[in-house]
């Protein structure tokens, strides 16, 4: 089994590190456009193999896609963050060019790959990768919901307090600060509603903190986060390569499900060796359905920028 990570920056390298530590594949290729960068990260990581005991062989390449040939799964983390003074449209334009070009190159050498999108704005980049490549919809997956749900579980664990591992909590909708929907009503602590343990106003704050979880870290770090995004990307790879049939919130193409069409948005899906295999209906209440429709409107508005490029 071979996995490729495009972009050897903070998120891509952390994905690769987590994938290797769990020996999820025999071969792992890191690709970046910055000369020598992916090679350097790959060698550094390989020099931990004797210490950590993993069996994955990691190699790096500067832009040579032939090295990625025959990959089963490819994660796209390449892109640039929004810089001061840059409009949202400009950011979408630059990252769209990168994601579209990368997807084309990957498919030349790995026509059967499952593509995972991490680059932001993730919902729009997932839609772009799917529509520009013409791939079957089950083979293009945006990762954001796994990360957002893990952040939701963290904030809940602080509020209860409890171990994050004993909490089940899902974020659906878009991956943006204002478009994601932490499903507080359905969150549980060992199978019991979290509302048994946390007051309604505190739960509201947990949801609000979750929604700005990424921005909070950018404020603290001066750049966007990488440990949780990297671990989330690796978790999705694990579910695919081990054919786990896990129920995970991912950004996928909707064709009428959750009342939406022609859009990629976060919903609970079964993940296995074929990519996303089935969308699961969580039977949202009216309030949640309204939030989902609003989230879809905002993401659709962002997707419309793609038509102007």
Catalytic residues: 175
299 forms beta bridges with: none
Residue 174: closest CA among 121, 217, 132: 121
Of the two residues 15 and 194, which places its CB atom closer to ligand APR in the complex? 15
Residue from 9, 60, 249, 266 that binds ligand APR (CB under 6 A)?
Answer: 9
CB 123 within 8 A of CB 179: yes
Residue from 26, 44, 52, 81 that binds ligand APR (CB under 6 A)?
Answer: 81
Q: Helix (H) and strand (E) counts for the chain?
A: 10, 14
Instruction: Detail the DSSP E strand segments found in 113-241.
Output: 114-117, 140-142, 167-168, 171-173, 180-182, 188-189, 192-193
Of the two residues 131 and 224, which places its CB atom closer to ligand APR in the complex? 224
Q: Does 216 bind ligand APR (CB under 6 A)?
A: no
Compute the Cα dihedral for 109, 113, 118, 120 and give only its sign.
positive
Residue 4 CB, shortest distance to ligand APR, in Å, is: 11
Residue 59 CB, shortest distance to ligand APR, in Å, is: 15
Residue from 12, 182, 266, 275 that binds ligand APR (CB under 6 A)?
Answer: 12
Residue 94 CB, shortest distance to ligand APR, in Å, is: 9
Q: Does 6 bind ligand APR (CB under 6 A)?
A: yes
Q: Does 174 bind ligand APR (CB under 6 A)?
A: no
Residue 148 sits at the vertex; the CA angle it makes with 74 and 135, to the nearest 5 degrees, is: 30
| Element holding 41 (H helix, E strand) | helix 37-46
Three-state SS at 269: strand
Q: Does 266 bind ligand APR (CB under 6 A)?
A: no
Q: Does 78 bind ligand APR (CB under 6 A)?
A: yes
Window 35 to 64, contacts with ligand APR (CB under 6 A)? 37
Query: Which residues are at the interface with ligand APR (CB under 6 A)?
Result: 6-12, 31-34, 37, 77-79, 81, 98, 102, 118-120, 224, 226, 229
């Amino acid at each position: 089994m071979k996995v490729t990570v495009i972009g050897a920056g903070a998120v891509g390298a952390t994905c690769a590190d987590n994938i290797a530590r769990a020996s999820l594949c025999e071969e792992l290729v890191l690709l970046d456009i910055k000369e020598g960068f992916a090679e350097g990260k790959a060698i550094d990581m390989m020099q931990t193999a004797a210490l950590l005991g993993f069996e994955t062989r990691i190699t790096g390449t500067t832009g040579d896609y032939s090295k990625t040939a025959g990959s089963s799964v490819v994660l796209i983390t390449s892109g640039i963050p929004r810089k001061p003074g840059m409009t949202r449209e400009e950011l979408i334009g630059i990252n769209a060019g990168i994601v579209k070009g990368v997807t084309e190159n990957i498919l030349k050498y790995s026509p059967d790959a499952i593509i995972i999108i991490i680059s932001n704005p993730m919902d729009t980049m997932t839609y772009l990768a799917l529509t520009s490549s013409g791939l079957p919809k089950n083979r293009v997956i945006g990762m954001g919901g796994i990360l957002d749900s893990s952040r939701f579980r963290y904030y809940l664990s602080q509020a209860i307090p409890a171990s994050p591992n004993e909490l089940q909590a899902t974020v659906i909708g878009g991956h943006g600060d204002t478009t994601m929907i932490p499903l507080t009503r359905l969150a549980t602590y060992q199978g019991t509603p979290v509302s048994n343990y946390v007051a309604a106003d505190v739960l509201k704050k947990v949801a609000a903190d979750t929604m700005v979880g990424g921005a909070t870290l950018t404020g603290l770090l001066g750049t966007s986060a990488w440990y949780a995004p990297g671990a989330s990307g690796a978790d999705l790879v694990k579910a695919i390569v081990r054919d786990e049939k896990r129920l995970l919130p991912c950004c996928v193409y909707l064709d009428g499900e959750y009342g939406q069409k022609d859009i990629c948005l976060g919903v609970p899906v079964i993940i296995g060796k074929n990519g996303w295999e089935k969308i699961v209906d969580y039977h949202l209440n009216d309030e949640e359905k309204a939030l989902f429709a609003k989230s879809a409107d905002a993401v659709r508005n962002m997707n419309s920028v793609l038509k102007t490029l």
